[in-house]
Amino acid sequence: MTDRLALITGASRGLGAALAEALAPTHHIVAVARTTGALEELDDRIKARGGSATLAPMDITVPEAMATLCRGIFDRWGKLDLWIHTAIHGAPLSPAHHVTQKEWTKAMAINATATSVLIPYVAPLLGQDGRAVFFDDACAGEKFFGAYGASKAAQLAMVRSWQAETSRTGPRVQLLTPAAMPTALRARFFPGEDRNALTSPTEVAATLLPQILAD
């Protein structure tokens, strides 16, 4: 087993799963998602590439679960080298005056509040030399993206503050913008889109990986 450790929150599908597979040859993967079956399928693909993973079927909106996860990482490995956060909730598109309280609360809980809980939990594991990676989305702020856009903007504001605060001391905080991918999230936003024109998560992961691992 490699001595380098990568935590991926939102690892069961899409970009998170693709990055887990891409990192598997060089990192032991701690894969977090709510869907146990999808995590087990990811584990099979990682093992097929000669890698190894620890599966953590958890809900990132439960602070106690995230505290247990991070304490478990500390007790077993003592540190993290890399944290990639891809977990996201795509609130249904609607005019701003039609956004329901239920969807607003869910979007904020997953996209913003969970990030604010995870950063202080994960930061001590990363120390000065680790790195954390988050992802921007050009859809945030577009019409009908009110709940999604607001929650994503809140997340990114927190990330940019952390990035500025740690620019000299570490950990290294990256904010990347992936190409449009044929994910379930995007299908929810653009149901009639030609998915053949989009870039697969595997290809996007291959493009992003050099940036993520660059010295």
Distances, alpha carbon 8 to alpha carbons 33, 187, 192, in Å = 9, 22, 30
Taking only the tens place, the pLDDT of each residue in 61-85 is 999 999 999 999 999 999 999 999 9
Token pair 């998560």 in the structure block, residue = 201
Q: State which amino acid sits at residue 127.
A: G
Neighbouring CB atoms inside 10 A of 112's CB total: 20
Q: What is the 3-state secondary structure (H, E, C) of the chain?
A: CCCCEEEEECCCCHHHHHHHHHHCCCCEEEEEECCHHHHHHHHHHHHHCCCCEEEEECCCCCHHHHHHHHHHHHHHHCCCCEEEECCCCCCCCECHHHCCHHHHHHHHHHHHHHHHHHHHHHHHHHCCCCEEEEECCCCCCCCCEHHHHHHHHHHHHHHHHHHHHCCCCCCEEEEECCCCCCCHHHHHHCCCCCHHHCCCHHHHHHHHHHHHHCC
CA pair distance 76, 129, nearest whole angstrom = 19
pLDDT, tens digit, 9 for 90 and up, residues 138-158 = 887 789 999 999 999 999 999
Tell me what the mean pLDDT of segment 35-48 comes to: 96
Q: Would you state the pLDDT for residue 204?
A: 98
Give the fold, CATH level 3, of 5-206.
Answer: Rossmann fold (3.40.50)
- Residue 45 is predicted with a pLDDT of 96
pLDDT (0 to 100) of residue 215: 83
Which single residue is written with the structure tokens 């869910």? Answer: 106
Residue 34: per-residue pLDDT: 95
98-123 pLDDT per residue, tens:
999 999 999 999 999 999 999 999 99
Residues 162-210: tens digit of each pLDDT: 999 999 999 999 999 999 999 988 998 999 999 999 999 999 999 999 9
> What's residue 1's pLDDT?
56
